[in-house]
């Protein structure tokens, strides 16, 4: 399988890999399943102005899944929760030039953002 | 690392390069200056010389497996040999019974041929191997009925390299008057084969896993006790009517020379290859959560099939771009399909996906093995550093107890 340069770049040098210690300012989303070949964990840290000031990920999956999650950690930083929720899989797939068989990786990344936001909001009801 | 050429070829079970000595012999059978005649031409020396070359090759193939040259039928490869053996025997003996027994870990050339016979009305039992990949003799005995006419069990498995006990299976088959076919595509030059003592009736070979050319193979058809086949390819009546078609002299000569070399060098070669396989395995086995797939004892020297838990297979292959290896997952489609062989051993999907088959051969060097060890270790460590599953495992979370949000 041929990978786009951007996928290779994120795969070779993934951005924001890691774990944020959990507290009230943190939202964690974990999506996917090992049996399906990909699991993403995305964490966001939200400041008092409601802006995502940090994001970290870990991903078990193919190069496109790793690249998709790496990319969204870059994109969500500096955004409000509503703005982050506006990131769609089509944006991700387009940016990374994902082939059709890898679109599900971008869908998973979108799901991961939604799951992290949900988790954060559930702590602040 | 200076003189290592990348990528490193560690996929000798997929195919081998042709040995230069073999290529030289083949090249002599092509042009006007060479031995280009049709071996079936009776009326001139071009035909006679070509026939002599084919006869020599037939003897060389027979010699490697201790058979009579009259028991060797040329084909286009192991796929055709499997088809001719299984369909040929089933069709010929269908009045005796309609039941065939095989193993779930056979090559597709056997499994899909059996599927076709099912569509023609035969009944096929696909036995589960044991966890180590080996056939359970008791299961074979239990599956056998008075309708069983054919047992087809491979000698060496192409993915995990395990060696089946074809002597014991043959003894059982002969005692019960059942035809026994063995796919030996992966075993020539790797395991001793003595068809004078083995009670095997039909055996499939190909040249391209033993440093010969692709596109040529042979089927051993036993003469005593005689085994009959219905031809699958009709025409000029070549190969005693069992397989028509003009013989490809250069291909056949290549297979003969490749098998001659295999017989001569097998013992020393296997020792060298085993040393490198063990070096590879020893370089990797102290890592956490690595699993060898298939029995390590009953296994050819050149195969290491190993799963790296908590690492996804396709990303591993990507990280190992400098190695030409095979992966247990067919990652060309959106729905990852794990290897049916590893599934049949009872491996879960994750372990099947994260498996790598390293197959070592004649031209592998110790430097390449050392380079491979470093590369694989670095790749697995990097990907585990990225893996949330690895974190969970390290935190003592049982991944089976997690409710995954499948998509
Ligand atoms: C066990 C086994 N059987 C059959 C085949 C098919 O051989 P060929 O490519 O010569 O048709 C192979 C190789 O792919 C094999 O490994």
Flag whether pLDDT at B291 surpasses 80: yes
* Predicted confidence (pLDDT) at residue B1 exceeds the cutoff of 60: no
pLDDT of residue B332: 46
Cross-strand pairs, A60: A39
> Among candidates B195, B208, B211, which has minimal Cα distance to B261?
B211
Whether pLDDT at B372 is above 60: yes
Strand partners of residue B204: B183, B219
For ligand 1, is residue B185 a contact (CB within 6 Å)?
A: yes
Locate tokens 């070359």: which residue? B53
Find the mean pLDDT for residues B218-231: 97
pLDDT 10s digit of each residue in chain A, 125 long?
Answer: 578 999 999 999 999 999 999 999 999 999 999 888 899 999 999 999 999 999 999 999 999 999 999 999 999 999 999 999 999 999 999 999 999 989 999 999 999 999 999 999 999 98
CB contact under 8 A, A63 and B314: yes
CB neighbour list of residue B313: distance below 8 Å, 6 or more residues apart: A37, B327, B328, B329, B331, B336, B353, B354, B355, B356
Report whether residue B50 contacts ligand 1, using a CB cutoff of 6 Å. no
The percentage of chain B sitting over the pLDDT mark of 70, rounded to a whole number, equals: 97
Instruction: Please give the average per-residue pLDDT across B331-353, as a whole number.
Output: 78
* ipTM summary value: 0.95
Residue of chain B whose Cα is closest to the Cα of A106? B407
**Between chains, do B314 and A17 touch, taking CB under 8 Å as contact?**
no
Beta bridge partners of A33: A38
Block residue for tokens 């699991």 = A39
> pTM of whole model > 0.90?
yes
Q: Tokens for A2, please give them.
A: 């041929």
Angle at the Cα of A8 from the Cα atoms of A7 and A11, rounded to 5 degrees: 85
**Mean pLDDT value across chain B:** 95
Q: What are B299-314's pLDDT values in tens digits?
A: 999 999 999 999 998 8
pLDDT bracket for residue B329 (50, 70, 90) = low
Atom of ligand 1 nearest to the CA of B154: 1
Query: Is B342 part of the contact surface with chain A (CB cutoff 8 Å)?
Result: no
- If pLDDT is split at 50, 70 and 90, which confidence band does B2 have? low
Q: Which residue has its alpha carbon closest to ligand 1 atom 12?
A: B185
- Residue to mutate among B395, B398, B399, B404, with most A CBs inside 10 A, is B404
């Amino acid at each position: 399988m041929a990978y786009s340069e951007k996928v290779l770049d994120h795969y070779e040098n993934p951005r924001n890999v890691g774990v944020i210690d959990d507290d009230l300012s943190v939202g964690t989303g974990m999506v996917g399943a090992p049996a399906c070949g990909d699991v993403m964990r995305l964490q966001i840290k939200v400041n008092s102005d409601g802006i995502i000031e940090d994001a970290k990920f870990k991903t078990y999956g193919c190069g496109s899944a790793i690249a998709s999650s790496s990319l969204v950690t870059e994109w969500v930083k500096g955004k409000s929760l509503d703005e982050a929720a506006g990131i769609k899989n089509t944006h991700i797939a387009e940016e990374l030039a994902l082939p059709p068989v890898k679109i599900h990786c971008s869908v998973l990344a979108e799901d991961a953002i939604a799951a992290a936001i949900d988790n954060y909001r559930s702590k602040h009801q | 690392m200076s003189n290592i050429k990348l990528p490193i070829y560690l996929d000798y079970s997929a195919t081998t390069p042709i040995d230069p000595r073999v290529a030289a012999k083949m090249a002599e059978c092509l042009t006007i200056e060479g031995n280009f005649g049709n071996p079936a031409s009776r009326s001139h020396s071009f035909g006679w010389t070509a026939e002599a070359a084919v006869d020599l090759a037939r003897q060389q193939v027979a010699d490697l497996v201790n058979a009579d040259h009259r028991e060797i039928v040329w084909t286009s490869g192991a796929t055709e040999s499997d088809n001719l053996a299984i369909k040929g025997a089933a069709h010929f003996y269908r009045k005796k019974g309609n039941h065939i027994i095989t193993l779930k870990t056979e090559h597709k050339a056997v499994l899909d041929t059996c599927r076709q016979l099912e569509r023609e009305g035969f009944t096929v039992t696909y036995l589960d191997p044991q966890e180590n990949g080996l056939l359970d003799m008791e299961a074979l005995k239990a599956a056998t009925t008075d309708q069983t006419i054919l047992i087809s069990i491979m000698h060496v498995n192409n993915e995990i390299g395990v060696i089946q006990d074809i002597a014991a299976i043959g003894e059982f088959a002969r005692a019960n008057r059942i035809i026994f076919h063995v796919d030996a595509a992966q075993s020539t030059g790797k395991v001793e084969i003595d068809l004078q003592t083995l009670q095997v009736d039909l055996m499939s070979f190909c040249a391209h896993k033993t440093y010969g050319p692709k596109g040529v193979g042979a089927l051993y058809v036993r003469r005593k006790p005689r085994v009959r086949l219905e031809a699958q390819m009709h025409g000029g009546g070549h190969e005693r009517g069992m397989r028509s078609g003009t013989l490809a002299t250069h291909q056949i000569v290549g297979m003969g020379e490749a098998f001659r070399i295999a017989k001569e060098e097998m013992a020393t070669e296997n020792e060298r290859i085993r040393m490198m396989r063990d070096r590879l395995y020893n370089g990797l086995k102290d890592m956490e959560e690595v699993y060898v797939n298939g029995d390590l004892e009953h296994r050819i020297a050149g195969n290491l099939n190993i799963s790296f838990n908590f690492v996804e297979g396709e990303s591993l292959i990507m990280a190992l771009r400098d190695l030409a290896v095979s992966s247990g997952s067919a990652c060309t489609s959106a729905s990852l399909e794990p290897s049916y062989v590893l599934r049949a051993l009872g491996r879960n999907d994750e372990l099947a996906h994260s498996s790598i088959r390293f197959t070592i051969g004649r031209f592998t060097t110790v430097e390449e093995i050392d380079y491979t060890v470093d590369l694989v270790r670095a790749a697995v460590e990097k990907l585990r550093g990225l893996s949330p599953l690895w974190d969970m495992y390290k935190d003592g979370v049982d991944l089976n107890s997690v409710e995954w949000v499948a998509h």
